Amino acid sequence: MNSVPPLRLTNGQPAERAALPIVPFRKFREQVLYSLQQDARLAAFYAVPRQGTTFQLVAVMAHGGSGDFSLISTDIEDHYQALTPGCVQAHWFEREIAEQWAITPEGHPWLKPLRFHRSYRKDNDAWNRDPATEILPGVTTYFRVEGEEVHEVAVGPVHAGVIEPGHFRFQCYGERVLHLEISLGYQHRGIERALLGGPTLKTISHMETLAGDTTIGHATAYCQAVEALAGCVVPERAEAIRGIALELERLANHVGDLGALAGDVGYLPTSSYCGRLRGELLNLTALLCGNRFGRNLLRPGGSAFDLEEPRAAELLNRLDRTMRDITGAVTLLWNVPSVLARFEDTGMISRQTALDLGLVGPSVRACGVDRDARRDFPSGIFKRAPVKVAVGKSGD
Instruction: Note the pLDDT of residue 2.
Output: 61
Instruction: Note the pLDDT of residue 60.
Output: 98
Asked: is 7-111 a CATH 3.30.460.80 domain? The reply is yes
Task: Identify the segments of the chain with pLDDT beneath 50.
Answer: none
Quick check: 137 and 186 in contact, CB under 8 A? Answer: yes
User: Residue 34 and residue 4: Cα distance in Å, rounded?
Assistant: 13
Q: Provide the Cα torsion 362, 364, 368, 370; round to 10°.
A: -80
User: Residue 269 and residue 293: Cα distance in Å, rounded?
Assistant: 25
Quick check: 85 and 109 in contact, CB under 8 A? Answer: yes
The full set of domain ranges for the chain reads: 7-111, 136-187, 203-344
Counted residue by residue, the chain has a size of 396
Quick check: 105 and 98 in contact, CB under 8 A? Answer: yes
**CATH fold of the domain at 203-344:** Cytochrome-c3 Hydrogenase; chain B (1.10.645)
Q: Residue 101: exposed, middle, or buried by beta-carbon count in 10 A (0-12, 13-18, 19+)?
A: buried
Strand pairing report for 167-173 and 150-155:
antiparallel
- Which ranges constitute the DSSP H helices of 211-367? 215-230, 236-264, 268-289, 309-334, 337-343, 351-357, 361-365
Q: Specify the 3-state DSSP secondary structure of 288.
A: helix
Instruction: Note the pLDDT of residue 153.
Output: 95
User: Residue 203 and residue 198: Cα distance in Å, rounded?
Assistant: 7
Instruction: Note the pLDDT of residue 226.
Output: 96
pLDDT in tens, 139-178: 999 999 999 899 999 998 987 777 788 999 999 999 899 9
Q: Residue 193: exposed, middle, or buried by beta-carbon count in 10 A (0-12, 13-18, 19+)?
A: exposed
The full DSSP string for 325-382 is HHHHHHHHHHT-HHHHHHHTTSS---HHHHHHHT--HHHHHTTT----HHHHS--GGG
Q: Provide the Cα torsion 62, 193, 203, 198; round to 10°.
A: 100
Instruction: Note the pLDDT of residue 175.
Output: 85
Asked if omega into 85 is within 30° of 0 (cis), the reply is no
User: Residue 103 and residue 78: Cα distance in Å, rounded?
Assistant: 5
Please give the backbone phi and psi of residue 168, each rounded to the nearest 5 degrees, phi first. -120, 135
Instruction: Note the pLDDT of residue 394.
Output: 85
User: Residue 104 and residue 273: Cα distance in Å, rounded?
Assistant: 48
